[in-house]
Amino acid sequence: MIDMVGIGPFITIPFIVGLLQGPMSLLAWLLGALLAYMDGMVWAEMGAKWPEAGGSYVFLQKLFGNRKWGRLMPFLFIWQTSIQAPLVVASGAIGFAQYLSFLIPLGDVEKKIVSGSLIILLIILLYRNIKSIGKISVLLWFITGGTILWLIFSGIGHFSAAQAFDFHIPQDGFNALFFIAVGQASLKAVYSYLGYYNVCHLGAEIKDPAKNIPRSIFISITGIALLYLGMQTTILGVLPWQTVAASDFVVSTYFEHIYNHTVAQVATVLVLCIALASLFSVILGYSRIPYAAAKNGDFFAVFAKVHPRHHFPHVSLLALGGLAFVFSLLFKMKEVITAIIVMRILIQFVSQAVGVILWHYNNRSDERPYTMPLFPLPAIISIAIWLFILFSSEVVYIAFAIGIIVVGTVLYLLKERNTTVQK
């Protein structure tokens, strides 16, 4: 649940409300929750069956086999991660700078300086032998969950049900443009739900994974969905949707409206703490993925290098951190969020859902510690929603995602050819 929240909901609410112009924005959060449940069933099957460290990297290997074209899928996942991970880090840094500007007025250039400097600082902090940051996880969850609950309960005395649930039919009706807006808003909501599957990355360390991995996934989705729906509803019942859509730091604006500027500053500091801790964890975790794949011979060998003294994957850390720094300077929040989701849809989410369906039909006798109810319906619904979000996106992002796949495939073939020549 800590991994799911981060800075996500605090920066995506204005985008979602602006796209759907008011309480209709709840549709995006509900569709995001539905997708998380359906896709969560796919992850639960794989996590219960293959409780190993690595998540999608392991699952795609198992689902598509160890032959030449089967190995392409895990390679593309790692290749995509080497671009997607810096985008995730950049989004958190941009969001941090956005909320900091409530405390210290910042122009566009100053925000870029803050976001870029933050990434550099975090890389410096991580450039050492760090074994675990798990000790702060409980404190982080109290800050995260407590901030959202504080937001929800603070609005009770100021809440207008008529304003919060003023659902209205769009002026042009439920036409294609409305559904495109729903798709684009849902993409932003999904960004805030991502992380329900992170327990699968720690599968080898989970006690009784066949039961606890599915439980972790569905309990996390349920808890976070309730918090998000409560937060979105409360904000819309207190602030006009036009104010929400126009705010760069909606949580700060909300607390200032209810209390005063000082309380809003305290709430902003809490959001910044959540963003900072989440970024620290994200960079640490992502830097180990290309390293692990390279060490197994499934990615470029340079990423397998470790620091000669402190023995951590410094090449992977510097490469991902360097890209994150560049992305934080080049892109805006909306662009980064959209790119993060769209580029992951085909290689990671859709491929896994398709792979699980094929696994069921091609290996009927395999033991499945957890089997999704009503198979294959949840996987099919997951694929359908992912594709709906994909094709609701702007063409430039779809082209970007396809381009990543094409370039990755070319790099894979060159790598395979070089490996064959060396042998």
Angle between helices 8-20 and 176-193 (to 10 degrees): 170
Average predicted confidence (pLDDT) for the chain: 90
In the block, tokens 């549709």 appear at 27
What's the confidence (pLDDT) of residue 5? Answer: 81
53, pLDDT greater than 80: no
pLDDT band at 69 (very low <50, low <70, confident <90, very high): confident
307, pLDDT greater than 70: yes
- Global pTM value: 0.90
What's the confidence (pLDDT) of residue 132? Answer: 46
Neighbouring residues of 264: CB distance < 8 A, sequence distance ≥ 6: 102, 252, 253, 254, 255, 256
What's the confidence (pLDDT) of residue 269? Answer: 95
What's the confidence (pLDDT) of residue 294? Answer: 85
> Over the stretch 187-207, which tens digit does the pLDDT of each residue have?
999 999 998 998 887 777 788
The answer to whether the beta carbons of residues 28 and 17 sit under 8 Å apart is no
What's the confidence (pLDDT) of residue 29? Answer: 97
In the block, tokens 């396809």 appear at 402
**Spatial distance between the Cα atoms of 312 and 306, rounded to a whole number of angstroms:** 5
Looking at residue 413, its amino acid is L
% pLDDT > 90, the chain: 68
pLDDT band at 173 (very low <50, low <70, confident <90, very high): confident
pLDDT band at 422 (very low <50, low <70, confident <90, very high): low
Q: What stretches of 239-349 show up as alpha helix (H) in DSSP?
A: 241-246, 250-258, 261-286, 288-295, 314-330, 333-344
Least confident piece of the model among 67-81, 275-289, 321-335: 275-289
> Over the stretch 349-386, which tens digit does the pLDDT of each residue have?
999 999 999 999 999 999 999 999 999 999 999 999 99
423, pLDDT greater than 70: no
**Spatial distance between the Cα atoms of 321 and 16, rounded to a whole number of angstroms:** 29
CATH number of 2-422: 1.20.1740.10
Least confident piece of the model among 46-60, 94-108, 181-195: 46-60
Write the CA distances from 298 to 274, 291, 408, 410, 417, integer angstroms: 34, 10, 13, 15, 13
Mean pLDDT of 281-293: 81
The answer to whether the beta carbons of residues 252 and 86 sit under 8 Å apart is no
Mean pLDDT of 249-269: 96
% pLDDT > 70, the chain: 96
377 or 68, higher pLDDT = 377
> Over the stretch 96-145, which tens digit does the pLDDT of each residue have?
999 999 999 999 999 999 999 999 998 988 876 655 445 556 677 788 88
Encoded tokens for 165: 């649930």
Write the CA distances from 210 to 37, 207, 261, integer angstroms: 17, 9, 49
What's the confidence (pLDDT) of residue 129? Answer: 60
What's the confidence (pLDDT) of residue 214? Answer: 96
Mean pLDDT of 47-67: 88
What's the confidence (pLDDT) of residue 256? Answer: 97
**Spatial distance between the Cα atoms of 92 and 282, rounded to a whole number of angstroms:** 9
227 or 69, higher pLDDT = 227
**Spatial distance between the Cα atoms of 13 and 259, rounded to a whole number of angstroms:** 20
> Over the stretch 264-284, which tens digit does the pLDDT of each residue have?
999 999 999 888 877 877 887
